[in-house]
Structure 1
Amino acid sequence: MEILIKASQFILSLSLLIVLHELGHFIPAKLFKIKVEKFYLFFDYKFSIFKKKIGDTVYGIGWIPLGGYVKIAGMIDESMDTEQLAQPVQPWEFRSKPAWQRLIIMLGGVFVNFVLGIFIYIMLMYAYGEKFLPNDNVKDGVWVQDKLATDLGLQTGDKVLTVDGEKIKKFYGLSLEFINGNNYQIERNGEVLDKEIPTDFISQLMDRGKDAGPFILPRYPFVIAGISEGSPNLNSDLKSKDIVTTINGNAIKYFDEAQTELDKFKNQDITITVKRGNETKEIPVKVTSEGKLGVGIGQLSANDLEKLGYYDLARFEYSFAEAIPAGWNKSWKTLTDYVKQLKKIFNPSTGAYKGLGGFISIGSIFPAEWSAESFWNITAFLSIMLGFMNLLPIPALDGGHVVFTLWEMITGKKPGDKFLEYAQVVGFVLLIALLLFANGNDIFRLFK
């Protein structure tokens, strides 16, 4: 059921983005009186799931869910209709129109993607506002319990100040900042230290596995999730959700402090104090030879930590006028973060190519339960990502056509149809190779 919910959201989001992207090409083509022969969601090689001709245009749904397209008469595109191009130029064809009109048509899809992403983010800010854990509120520093964080040079209690000179605003955005960054600054025991992020940091992050969780966390209280089988405290009065506040009289605030105390009492009977709701209880327990209580550790959300008084979350509500700059800023941050990640992917030494994913990876980012806020957040991100990817100067993408059109406008020389045809083939081969690599990565990770 979880897979079905994720897949349904993915298909809905993808379909929406494709249809609106293609509308960005379709509408200006119609305005400039160019014949649009096909408007398709997904590709229709050999046959269609659905099709209907209205006027000069066949509207349909293909069976290959790799995108969609509009077939504009007189344009070299993925249909590779060279027979039409061999005929005399007609006034209703793309190739007969001035370069500025062709440029607008080619940029139409990208324009829609960017505008859609910005619009969704604005509406999300207006409808939901923002709630996050400010990095400044993590006053006692981070909890380091992952080898990757240790290898980075982090220690429990460090306060991360900046990444690449930029002050960190949201604590739970730290992982992404480290992925995109090259250096960082911390405060440790009152001293400010500058440290480098290894070039292969992303590779190390990928090698941990998708279920490893965040490599850096805020400091948590010692919350008991349950008693393990074989624990010496199986019959004790400990209960799930108890919060350990003292160990043999020594106060602890965070879980990372507990191990230091328990190591002092290996193989001993001691008393711990727990907070249970509004009560405080002292409970006799046995410490194992490894300095453990034999209990599971509870996970806490940011909301839980706030309720317990550990951290204060920041909350912002926006009027519609205030949501516009807030949505714009989030769109710009999304785009710049994505560009930084793309640069890392094209640098083999970072190992970022290991994280490149296809349909499985994209589908997996949707939640297992329907959430309108999450769905539209992800759709806005994908819209901006799709807009940027289509701007890349690769033949077969909108950006490739834009480059050739700009060349024509600057030099006054239009590239020949044969050149454009060969460029389209090369671009298509590159895209297929990238698609195979990305989805191959997904399959490899599944088996791994």
Structure 2
Amino acid sequence: MATPTAFNAHIVGIPHIPSITQVNVRTGPALNRKLVFRVDVGTRNLHVSEIQEDAEQRQLNGKTFHWFRLMFPDGRTGWVRDDLISLTGDGTSFGYINILQETLAFNLHRSAVTETPVTENEIDDKKEQDGVGEAMTPEDVRRTEEHRIVEIPTEEEEGPAFAECRMPGGVNMRSGPGTNNTIIGRFVHLHVAEILQSSDSQSGDPLKWIRVRYQSREDGWVRIDFFRLSGKFSRFGVGSEDLYPSPAPQSHWSRDFDPTGSYLNFPHDGWDKAGVTGAPILGGTKGGLVVHTAFCDFCGSQGLSVEQKGLRVGSSQVFVPGWNFGYGHFVIVRYTNDLLPESTRNQLAEIGREGQHLFVMYAHLHNIMVTNGQVLRSNQQIGTMGNSGNSTGTHLHLEVRAGESPTFSHWAALRSGLLSPEILFLR
């Protein structure tokens, strides 16, 4: 009988973001565990000693992350998440298959296992493994380049933050944070750069600007609303990592929140995210309850806009029940306070709304895919992006209102609780 191939992990980082050259290694299976060192992308053939589900139950697209306890070339061990590593070899004793072709760990299915195996060598070293990162000696911090490990100087140090351009055609980079500064380059659509700094605008708009490291430059500034952020960006004051991701993942920025019209020159009670008809619209990370669905009679099953019916956008003929008062086809989802991110709950408390619940309208849909009273799964699709109602092009209108009671009566009753979607969502 052939000897099973060793079950090994390989550090791959995030392949579509080549600027990520190292990944974090932690003392346990969660992002809230101490970060003890970084390892270079490309480090290979790391022995797997243990696998656990994410201790915080963090998920991506409804699937819970797993963490791998790996042995590194210098003898230390630490935990790395499965979206940053690939696997090869016989993983059957850990609940995986015999992996003949190198595969991203997150993409593999893991069956339930009753006990994680431990080899004789691991038993000999168990005392040292259990203490990894907790009591570091001076010798621990002196690692040679051949080990491909870079020590983190302090426990508090943050990882990098990244910005991905979501605007078709790209955006201008400027010499300073505002449109009154000189254009010095162009940031290409879907390219990614590291965030170096943030600032308020120097040109009067209320949006943040970020300075990025892009194409060998470190002096380019871009406006935050044209970008999707990842990594450790909260220290720049541009949102929190625990917020819900964009409910329209295949979208780009269109229009900001401006209920008084001071910035856009007309009132706008939410965010607009533009895209293509039929693109998925998703509910929140922890589920929610559909409290209202509204089919627009004048829009019909084709999801027509007022312009397609020969009416002028914003005219008095539009804000009537047949057009759902301009919103077209829409869905309202309730997210009770216990489902909200911690940073959202903290923001609510800061503005005198501690313990309140959020109600979110997803408007101008093409199709509605949920029903009243339906309990949503994590990131469940609730509809598709459309152009129905008072609309000039395909987009999602996202509107957020807070309420003391979890019981929904009607949208207008929540008007006093109108909030910017940034309290709950990443751009």
Q: TM-score if structure 2 supplies the norm length?
A: 0.26
Q: Which structure features the higher share of helix residues?
A: 1
Larger radius of gyration: 1
Bigger RCO of structures 1 and 2 (CA < 8 A, at least 6 apart): 1
